[in-house]
Every structure is written in C-alpha cells, then in structure tokens.
Amino acid sequence: MATVGFIYPDHAAEDDYPLAERMLGNGARLPVEHIYGTDLHAIAELLDLGSPKRLAEGAALLAKHDPAAIVWACTSGSFVYGWDGAAEQVAQLSEASAGLPASSTSFAFVRAAAALGLRRVAVAASYPDDVAALFVEFLHRGGVEVTAMSAADIDTAAEVGDLPAEAVIELIVSRDHPDAEALLVPDTAMRTLALVDTIEKRLGKPVLTANQVTVWEGLRLAGAARAVTGLGALFRTEVG
C-alpha cells in the first residue's frame, strides 16, 4: 500500500485526488490537506501562497497520514519562484516533512514530459498572461520547448474550479497547436482527471494536466508508480 500526501491550496478541484485513488486501486492512499491564502492568480499572492511557512503548515497536517512522499499540489505557487526558487521550496518542504521525498506540480510537469519523451508542447493555461509566461520560462529551464501558449485570463482558482466539464474540454482542445507533441494544462484548480482520456482521443496526442502529473509524481517519489488505464498516456508509461 502506497500513501502519498498532497498539500492543496484552498478549495477548487481537490476531488480529483480521491477520484485518482479509486481509479488506481490496489491500496493506494492519496490524502489531501489544505493550506489557505488568497486564490488570486497574481504573482505577489502566489509567492505568499507557496511560502515556507504555509507549506510547513501543510506538512504538519499530513504527518498523521504517515506518507511515503509529499507533493505541493500547486503549479503557479511553485513555478512563480523560478527554477532555483522552486527547487529550494521543495528542499524546505522535505525538511519540514522529516526528510521525506518531496516535489511540486511544476517539477511534475517537467518529469512527466521527460517520461513521455516530449520536447515540444503547447500550453493551455487558465492564468493571466504574466503568470502563464512564468510557467513557459520554467518549462524552458526543464528542457521543454513551448511551441504555443494560450492564457485564458481567469483571475481566481475558484472560478476555474467552477468550470463545467464541457467548458474545460473546450478550453483545452481549442488551444492545441499542430507543432506540439502534447498539450499541457497547468492548474490544479481545474478538474481534469475524468476528462484526460476523452481529450487525448479528441486531439490524438498526450495531454498532461496538473492534478494528473501531481499524482503521478507522488507515486514516482514513493516508488509506487504503475501502469493503469483511464488516466491518460502518462499512466500507461513505464517509469524507470
């Protein structure tokens, strides 16, 4: 049985995690604990949301679940620090978690792209342009070329979490690019796990979404990654 703990900001699409737990089966446990701050997609607010103090609070809440690994389930609250700052953020999270393996959604995207052998991607971001541009910079540092980036300019995570499934699908598929090998959707506030297979079939290429790669990264860190159906091409890929 693998237990991976997730620190999730506020409330929006955290029900993707119990859904993933059910889809994974075989005793996987994916407990989620929440930290709170503003849910604005704005740089200053995101820097506060991902601060060491807040993440340490989340780590303390997860301790009762005895996780084998811990992940900061927030893309914008990690890439907003830049590559080196996000690495320091993860190191501090590990320290606050008694040395457990730790990561964040931003690094999960880079590692998931590498696992699928992706080099050129399109980004379908829900954020405003200035925030989305920082995600593109982060991907570049990780060796992932962004052929096209589209920002939906949605101000808050709550608004993203309220999007109906049909709107989520349309937001994503309409932002594909023919030169992209895959499409990346970087917002853990967006419910996507139940939609990944449908969107991949529509596009004919892999789709990486924030909650999907976050779960995958946590399982990888815990040494519990395994191939399953229903969660997109990423979960059908062997992890070395």
Over the stretch 36-76, which tens digit does the pLDDT of each residue have? Answer: 988 778 899 999 999 999 999 999 999 999 999 999 999 99
User: What is 115-209's CATH topology?
Assistant: Rossmann fold (3.40.50)
Q: Is the predicted pLDDT of residue 152 greater than 90, yes or no?
A: no
Report the pLDDT value the prediction gives residue 238, as an integer from 0 to 100.
65
Report the pLDDT value the prediction gives residue 154, as an integer from 0 to 100.
85
Q: Which residues of 119-141 are buried (b: 16+ CB within 10 A; e: fewer)?
A: eebbbbbbbbeebbbbbbebbee
Report the pLDDT value the prediction gives residue 62, as an integer from 0 to 100.
98
CA-based Rg of the chain, rounded to a whole angstrom? Answer: 16
Distance in angstroms (rounded) separating the CA atoms of residues 26 and 9: 27
Distance in angstroms (rounded) separating the CA atoms of residues 13 and 18: 11
Where does CATH 3.40.50.12500 sit in the chain? 4-108+211-236, 115-209
Strand, coil or helix: 115: helix
What global pTM score does this model have? 0.95
One DSSP character per residue, 23-69 reads: HH-TT-B--EEEE-S--B--HHHHHHHT-HHHHHHHHHHHGGG--SE
Position 197 confidence tier, pLDDT thresholds 50, 70, 90: very high
Distance in angstroms (rounded) separating the CA atoms of residues 136 and 72: 19
Distance in angstroms (rounded) separating the CA atoms of residues 6 and 14: 10
User: What is 4-108+211-236's CATH topology?
Assistant: Rossmann fold (3.40.50)
